[in-house]
Amino acid sequence: MSSEGHHTAADDDAGNAYRALAETTSDGDPRWAFGSGFDSGSDAVEAEITSPVPDGVDAADLAAYCLMLGDDALICSQRLAEWVAAAPELEEEVALANIALDLLGQARVLLSRAGHVEGRDSSPMDGTAVADEDALAYFRDERALRNVTLAEVDGGDFGRTIARLLVFSSWRLALLQRLTASRDPVLAAVAGKGVKEVAYHRDYAARWTLRLGDGTAVSRQRMQAGLDGIWPHVESLFTTHDVERRLAHAGVAADPGDTRADVDAVLDEVLGRATLHRPDVPAVGLVAGRGGRDGVHTEALGHLLAEMQSLARIHPEAAW
């Protein structure tokens, strides 16, 4: 979301922050609070989700790419949601929850598009893709998830959560800015709405990075430790998967390798002002040439999914 549309402790009170979850911005753009920005029941969204695959594009590649972007958003959203009732201040709980809901809104549309394009009708309990966002979120195991590993690692303390959000949002914003020109109408629509939201996510993380890094000796130490903790997963953000490469060539996807200069520029500016430094730590390498995009994840994802999916798996036919 745009920074103008949000309220933080610096510029408003708690009551207005809660109202901000459901308000409309000055340009008439409804928020995605509670995953509602793309109402999956609306005729317009259904028409987009069921749009034909662009000419010359492999449907399996498009479905896989939507899963990649959707899983990134879904898993990062779940990590941020862990701060509900645990954030250091009420305002930060509201802000982090709203950011999580923005990402959840993006995930819903992307997973729905992936399910539609894939087009397999099967039971959600057998772990295969179906044309349903809930089944894709709750009934795939970790090997079927396609998110980057940065999204899944334990958020740790507030400093580490902010470090992850700064890097993730800077990178996702660079991707979404390129995807506004995608030949796929759903990717273009998600990107067009998402750039406003993720720009706020990045600015929120940058403000907290400055506050912690250029604050007390303790806050600086913890912010630097947060960067050190997530940094091994940063390099993989810029590794281009074969699916991404093919779809980028077809004018559908964005090549993550092309975003490095944009992300580096943001991080250099923010970390420099915050008196922090880029960690000198080894990157997490691929396993036999495979990483998160191929379903090879860290141990943390299994624990995250066990919590996120438990209720749906206990009551697979439940509706409310």
Q: What is the pLDDT of residues 251-286, one digit of tens each?
A: 999 999 999 999 999 999 999 999 999 999 999 978
Q: How far apart are alpha carbons 130 and 121 in whole angstroms?
A: 5
Domains and CATH numbers, the chain: 41-279+289-314 (1.20.1260.10)
Q: Which of 136, 147, 141 is nearest to 72 (CA)?
A: 147
Residue range 289-317, pLDDT digits in tens:
899 999 999 999 999 999 999 999 999 88
The mean pLDDT value for 65-70 works out to 98
Q: How far apart are alpha carbons 260 and 213 in whole angstroms?
A: 23
The mean pLDDT value for 43-72 works out to 89
Is it the case that residue 25 has pLDDT exceeding 60? no
Q: Phi/psi of residue 283, each to 5°?
A: -75, 150
Is it the case that residue 220 has pLDDT exceeding 80? yes
**Confidence (pTM):** 0.84
Instruction: Name the residue with tokens 């089944």.
Output: 135
Q: How far apart are alpha carbons 262 and 139 in whole angstroms?
A: 35
pLDDT-derived band at 230, boundaries 50, 70, 90? very high
Q: How far apart are alpha carbons 208 and 210 in whole angstroms?
A: 5
Residue range 156-183, pLDDT digits in tens:
999 999 999 999 999 999 999 999 999 9
Is it the case that residue 125 has pLDDT exceeding 50? no
Residue-level pLDDT at 289: 84
Q: Which residues contact 144 (CB under 8 A, 6 or more apart)?
A: 127, 129, 295
Residue-level pLDDT at 129: 41
Helix (H, G, I), strand (E, B) or coil at 27: coil
Percent pLDDT > 90 in the chain is: 73
Q: Give 290's strand partners.
A: 287
